[in-house]
Structure 1
């Protein structure tokens, strides 16, 4: 029985590469050579180097028990005749009188190549079509393969199969040619959106791997917060796990920081309650408004701290990074943004109700004029509060995921620059906010000044981004231009 470490003989690799090299000498075919070498490297990869996300989907399978083609096809959520074609084309298993001997290593190799580069997947499809392994795909081979595929999956009616085959033959130029080589096959696939999209099915674990997963466990808000705090980079399966002592130990920096953050907020809230109830004798709406205001002072200052990128970079180079979850600063920034929005609603509603029950002025006078003289700069607090709510609403909407990831990142970027007038208005709005924010704003200003200066330093040089493209398999291509004195 083959073990997980079974490798394809090295002579076979050399023979395959030699065949490809001969083709390259006779005709330029670099794509085939590169894809063949990458494919053989994947097939010969030792078990200990198999990525964990692939082992996770195969470790539950029997290690020594022989597996049938039907069982492997069920695991891979495909058809048995496709698995048979791949095993024969890639020589994945030795053949005896009972047929090919299949085990878990075959499944791992298939998953590995299915999720490789677009060139390897294209070569994989080419080998599936090339039934006689003569380095060509003929008209009859393509017709036989797709006819069997269509009849098996019953995607179209039997009467329509001939017309569908005519379309496929035309796409591959086999309506005018008897056979095509890999280079032409590759060019056809890369320039045809429908054919190219068909290769993407090999890259999606949730749809390609039919592993039964447990149903998600409903969690309350405290469990969700603790889970998010304890583990940042987790997959859907791990989200269903309960919080254990080992997980808390492994994420002690996140837990400690999150608990400290909650304790500071609770302490500030208790201070406001005690002071406003015992000293100021304020009504309940003023107490709620002041609680929101105090927590806004703290969180609006903290949201600047977690985005001090240069400072975070310096902390990363010191032993202090072991005690601070600095890699989670963006996620914490998002959390603080949502919390600030919630506190703003509480603060605004409480003040609006308090103005409504006041007998000194009418509600519109309180909200839209400076006559009541509320605030420390010309009674500007109510009006500045309205402007702050508008800015915060715009920033919140434009920072939504469907804006940032929906092709409108520039909208997110430019509206997020409203943080500058936001903090200026916040200083005018709240009497004591400048005491909270003067430190973070000073550091932010120094970081921006440093960034601006280093951009024009002669010994630093500048890099210009000419263009950016999204290649296959979601690979991003960046085309840059460097100044001459950089080298």
Structure 2
């Protein structure tokens, strides 16, 4: 291959950084979907695989995968900037041999702004970087604690994030797109898991027993609805109607399937749980504590 058509010679070390980090972040982003498949994880607990994989640590692993993906995303961005700089400084004759996906006028020499804002790779990359920054900022524990609704809303941008990831490589500037290879399996599992979640329904339940345990942990027992069947370790989404009736949080049921009640052990880390803890402490001396929960 002639020197001017060799991507490594034209783009320098940026091509190695871009391709290597792209594969790594594609893997991390795909793993993120699996960590949020709660129904799938609950089903896996029926098999012996849970003895080898810490399925209950899915949230912690989600954070690790997200931070790793963030690192490789930043590295990927740096690689693209290096690539675009080298490409924008090439003679126009070399660019005509670089890719068949983009056509140039005979007297037009594109600069770095062209590659960033007038190509599929560039514009989707800019949008991906903005969305990624928004999600990361609002996922910070301090912001999440004080503005949970914004955390939930910005995390819902994941649909747009993955759509842009699939489009990002279509220009084939540095090679054929490969993100779909990592995404297709976890994407199908995640979609099916979401379909199962859509079948759930919400039931208002009354709390009949609470205990304040050490380390600000509240044990809550509430009546089990008739004909309700569930598995050990199954998760439910709860909201406290006394505070925020539309803000749901996921918790694992700590009661056994054969018991005639449902229970959860909840540590007061979020604002609405701290309010619940305060109410529990205030009313503890009165000998009564009643909060409606919607499941």
Distance in 2 (CA, whole Å) between partners of 1:306 and 1:418 is 17
Aligned-pair Cα RMSD in Å: 2.9
Change over 3 Å in CA distance of 1:418–1:463 after alignment to 2: closer
Counterpart for residue 423 of structure 1: 162
- Give the counterpart of 2:114 among 365, 378, 394: 365
Aligned to 2:138: 398
User: Does the Cα contact within 8 Å between 1:470 and 1:477 map onto a contact in 2?
Assistant: no
Name 1:479's counterpart in structure 2: 292
Q: Distance in 1 between matches of 2:125 and 2:290?
A: 44
How far residue 467 of structure 1 moved from its aligned partner, in angstroms, is 2.1
Q: For 1:386, which of 101, 123, 126 is the aligned residue?
A: 126
SS at match of 1:471: helix
- SS of residue matched to 1:480: strand
Q: Looking at secondary structure, tell me which structure has more strand per residue.
A: 2
**What CA distance in whole angstroms lies between the structure 2 residues aligned with 1:464 and 1:336?**
28
Identify if the C-alpha distance between structure 1 residues 347 and 318 changes in structure 2 by more than 3 Å, giving closer, same or farther.
same
TM-score of the superposed pair, with normalisation by structure 2: 0.59
| Corresponding residue of 1:335 | 64
Find the structure with the greater CA-based Rg: 1
Answering whether residue 192 of structure 2 is matched by residue 446 of structure 1, we say yes
- Uncovered stretches (5+) of structure 2, i.e. residues with no partner: 1-5, 96-109, 170-176, 204-225, 230-236, 244-274, 282-288
TM-score by length of 1: 0.37
Q: CA deviation at 1:470?
A: 2.2
Query: Does 1 or 2 have the higher relative contact order (CA < 8 Å, sep 6+)?
Result: 2
Match of 2:82 among 346, 353, 356: 353
How many residues of Structure 1 are paired with residues of Structure 2 in the alignment? Answer: 194
Structure 1: segments with no counterpart, 5+ residues:
1-278, 371-379, 483-487
- TM-superposed deviation, 1:305: 1.2
- CA contact 1:398–1:415 (8 Å) conserved in 2: yes
Displaced runs of 4+ in structure 1, greater than 4 A? 279-282, 456-465, 473-478
- Tell me how far apart the structure 2 counterparts of residues 344 and 437 of structure 1 sit (CA, whole Å): 16
Q: Secondary structure at the match of 2:36?
A: coil
Q: Deviations over 1:118-147 (max 9, x none)?
A: xxxxxxxxxxxxxxxxxxxxxxxxxxxxxx
More helix by share: 1
2:292 alignment partner, SS class? strand
Contact 2:14–2:83 under 8 Å retained in 1? yes
